Amino acid sequence: MKTKPNKVKDFFKKVDAFFNKINEAFLSFFRKHYLLIAFILIVALSLTVRLVFLPFVSGDMNHFLLPWFNYLREFGGFKALKTYPWVGSGISKPGDYPVAYINLLALLSYIPGNPITLIKISSILFDYVLAIGAVLIIREFNKNNFLSLIAFAAFVFFPTSILNSAIWGQSDQMYVALVVWTVWLLLRKHPVLAMIPLGFAISIKLQSVFFLPVLIYMWLAKEFKLRNMLIIFLVIFSTFLPSYLAGAQFAMPFKMYYEQITSIYSNANYGAGSMYAFFEMAKFEDGINKGGVFLAFTFIGIALLILYHYQVPATKKNLVFVSVLFSLLSPFVLPHMHERYFYMADVFLIIYVIIYLRKYLFAALMSFSSVITYTHFLTGEYIFKFLGTDSVRLAALINLGLLVGLIFEAPKVLEKTPLLVSEELAINKEED
């Protein structure tokens, strides 16, 4: 009669041992691969958030991107490039983007599926290309895997990333991602290769030129040769080839850049947190249109002159700081800016605070400034309704404060002399 309780007890012992083995196996696997598990969860969650917003149709999608995509799909994809920008074709708004982005839409037009989904997925893909490039930059200074994971999460979840791709369906993350990879290649001492992604960035969006002052700074510091920039023009020209093969006129791709610079945008400000948010008055428009660009070049030139005067060497850390400075200064002082032209500043400020491990508020304020302007364009409403149109001026005031903050940061964070090779190797050894 005593055998039955023993059998029951033995059975439960075996069950308990079985689950203990499973628990130990899981804990062992988790200890070894917890960062990979967290990475997969971050990717899955960030994708889920984006997929939720895919049905949203922005004004740009409805009036520009979608009609262009449908025209390409209807008239043979790349064949339709022959008549780009399709003036007089019945499209409500003829094309005004560089041909490289239209090439991408033409390629997507061959894929069956919802046009809005296809356009947005191409943008979302570059969210992750950007995040990986940004993490690689950070790992040049700190190879801590946990910090890399935190950085990746920051780049796939910061607000304007989701707003720009999944909701707006815009292309800003594309050119900024390519600029980020340009910086990484420059940090790795590959200036020639770095010009390839930069060339494609400028091909997609002219606002990539916000980064060009960084190359001038490097040239003044004798760390860059201007002849390398010839590669940029070769890459840009390569994006013209599909149009030429379709039968487009030779001047057409060049004309698209000329049109963007000279005639498409006439207002001093288009909802951006730039300094012209303080001067949105009809009486100033004519003067800004005539002298705004020259004034911007003056500000940028002064910044370069100061860096040259104080002989700021183009070290790795200094390159990151200067990239942050010009990504914010350029759109702030240039006229005719849209709210999303601060996207590069959003990204580089996050990179900056993670590398320097200081002034985390800078990145938060930059994202907040962008959200203020983005949400008004996308929804027609301001976050702070009591401020109304002054919300844009609030964004401009935040951006001005960030610029002033960076200027005060410069003496504290800029390296005065280049590191010796032995010192750099020692630092890398400590990080490893």
Distances (CA, A) of 78 to 108, 110, 125, 156: 10, 9, 22, 32
Which residues are CB-neighbours of 265 under 8 A, at least 6 positions away? 336
What are the phi and psi torsion angles at 114 (to 5°)? -65, 125
Determine the pLDDT at residue 105: 97
At residue 106's C-alpha, the angle toward residues 104 and 108, to 5°, is 70
- Answer yes or no: are the C-beta atoms of 134 and 350 closer than 8 Å: yes
How many Å apart are CA 44 and CA 204, to the nearest integer?
28
pLDDT at residue 245 tops 80: yes
Tell me: the pLDDT tens digits for 390-400? 889 999 999 99
pLDDT digits (tens, 9 = 90+) for 393-429: 999 999 999 999 999 999 999 998 765 444 455 545 5
Lookup: tokens for 24: 């130990």
Question: Would the pLDDT of 431 be above 60?
Answer: no
Q: Which pTM does this prediction carry?
A: 0.90
> What is the per-residue pLDDT for 26?
77
Give residue-wise pLDDT tens across range 165-204. Answer: 999 999 999 999 999 999 999 999 999 999 999 999 999 9
Residue pair 343/164 in contact (Cβ under 8 Å)? The answer is yes
d(CA 367, CA 369): 5
Q: Is 50 exceeded by the pLDDT of residue 273? A: yes
Q: Return the ∠ at Cα 158 (arms to 152 and 163), rounded to 5°.
A: 130
In terms of Cα–Cα distance, which of 264, 259, 256 is closest to 99? 256
Flag whether pLDDT at 32 surpasses 60.
Answer: yes
Tell me what the pLDDT averaged over the chain comes to. Answer: 90
Buried-exposed string 137-165: b where 16+ CB fall within 10 A, e elsewhere: bbbbbeeeeebbbebbbbbbebebbbbbb
How do the domains of the chain map onto residue ranges? 58-431
Those residues whose C-beta lies under 8 Å from the C-beta of residue 86, and which sit 6 or more positions away, are: 68, 71, 80, 94, 95
Separation CA 175–CA 239 (nearest Å): 14
d(CA 186, CA 192): 9
SS3 269: strand
Closest to 423 (Cα-Cα) out of 415, 194, 300: 415
Query: d(Cα 238, Cα 251) in Å, to the nearest integer?
Result: 14
> Over the stretch 83-120, which tens digit does the pLDDT of each residue have?
999 988 888 788 889 999 999 999 999 999 999 999 99
Q: Which helix (H) or strand (E) holds 338?
A: strand 337-338
Task: Please determine, for residue 5, whether its predicted confidence score (pLDDT) is greater than 90.
Answer: no
Residue 331, pLDDT > 90, answer: yes
**Average pLDDT score over residue span 64-86:** 95
What is the distance, to the nearest Å, from the Cα of residue 121 to the centroid of all Cα atoms in its chain?
Answer: 16
Cα(112)–Cα(226) distance, integer angstroms: 44
pLDDT band at 249 (very low <50, low <70, confident <90, very high): very high
- Residue 420's pLDDT is 47
Contact assessment for residue 159 and residue 340, using Cβ atoms and an 8 Å cutoff: no
**Highest mean pLDDT of the ranges 4-13, 381-390, 418-427:** 381-390
Which tokens in the block code for residue 419? Answer: 């590191």
Q: How far apart are CA 333 and CA 86, in angstroms?
A: 33
Residues 6+ apart with CB under 8 A from 39: 149, 152
What are the structure tokens assigned to 129, written together?
């290309």
Using CA atoms of 267, 268, 270, 271 in order, give the dihedral in degrees to the nearest 10: -140
Task: Give the three-state DSSP class for 327.
Answer: helix
What burial class does residue 123 get, using C-beta atoms within 10 Å of its C-beta: 0-12 exposed, 13-18 middle, 19+ buried? buried
DSSP bridge pairs for 269: 337
Contacts of 316 (CB under 8 A, 6+ apart): 140, 141, 187
Please enumerate, as own/partner, the contacts of 391-397 that have beta carbons within 8 Å and a separation of 24 or more: 392/269, 392/271, 392/272, 392/273, 392/277, 393/277, 393/278, 394/369, 395/272, 395/273, 395/277, 395/339, 395/369, 395/370, 396/272, 396/273, 396/274, 396/275, 396/277, 396/278, 396/332
Residue with more model confidence, 18 or 175: 175
Contact present, 119 and 108 (Cβ < 8 Å):
yes
Do the Cβ atoms of 269 and 376 come closer than 8 Å?
A: no
Residues in the chain: 432
